[in-house]
Chain A
Amino acid sequence: MKNLLEHMGIDPGRLHFSWISSAESTKFVEVAKKVTEEAVALKSKEKKYMKTKPKVA
Chain B
Amino acid sequence: MKVIQIDKSELDAGLKKLESAYRLIGPVKEKDYHLFKALTPGQKPDLDYSNTRLSARSILYPQSEVMFTFSLDKNDPQYAILKEPAKDPQPRAVIGIRPCDADAYEVVRRNFDTPEYKDPYWLKNFEATTLVGFACNNPCPTCFCTSAVSGPFSDRNLDILLVDDGNHFLARLSTEKGEKLAELAGWKRPAENADDTIEKMKATAESKMTTTVSTDNLANQSLTDLYEAEEAIWDSEAFACINCGTCTHACPTCWCFDVQDETYGKSGVRMRNWDSCMYPLFTMHASGHNPRDKKIGRVRQRFMHKLKYYVDKYEQGIQCTGCGRCVRLCPVNIDIRRICNKMNSYDPETCSCAVTS
Contacts and interface: CB of A to CB of B under 8 A. Distances in A.
Q: Do chains A and B touch in the complex (CB under 8 A)?
A: yes
Given A57-B62, A57-B65, A52 B264 contact: yes
Contacts of A45: none
A54 B85 contact: no
A57 B269 CA distance: 13
Contacts of A52: 264
A55 B62 CA distance: 11
A49 to B, nearest CB: 13
Interface in B54-83: 62, 64-66
A54 B65 CA distance: 8
A2 interface: no
A51 interface: yes
A14 B25 CA distance: 41
Main secondary structure of the interface of A (DSSP, over half): loop
A53 interface: yes
A57 B271 CA distance: 12
Contacts of A54: 64, 66, 262, 269, 271
Nearest to A51: B264
Nearest to A57: B62
Interface string B269-283: 101000000000000
Contacts of B66: 54-57
B196 interface: no
B86 interface: yes
B264 A56 contact: no
A56 B85 contact: yes
A12 B264 CA distance: 26
B269 A53 contact: yes
Contacts of B231: none
Interface in B85-101: 85-88
B267 interface: yes
Contacts of B86: 56
Contact of A57 (B87, B264, B267): B87
B41 to A, nearest CB: 18
B327 to A, nearest CB: 30
A4 to B, nearest CB: 24
Nearest to B267: A53
A53 B88 CA distance: 17
Interface string A37-57: 000000000000001111111
Nearest to A53: B264
A30 B62 CA distance: 48
Interface string A2-46: 000000000000000000000000000000000000000000000
A57 B62 CA distance: 8
Nearest to B86: A56
B39 to A, nearest CB: 15
Interface of B: 62, 64-66, 85-88, 262, 264, 267, 269, 271
20 contacts: A51-B264, A52-B264, A53-B264, A53-B267, A53-B269, A54-B64, A54-B66, A54-B262, A54-B269, A54-B271, A55-B66, A56-B66, A56-B85, A56-B86, A56-B87, A57-B62, A57-B65, A57-B66, A57-B87, A57-B88
Q: Which 8 A-B pairs have the closest CB atoms?
A: A56-B85, A53-B264, A56-B66, A54-B66, A57-B62, A54-B64, A56-B87, A53-B269
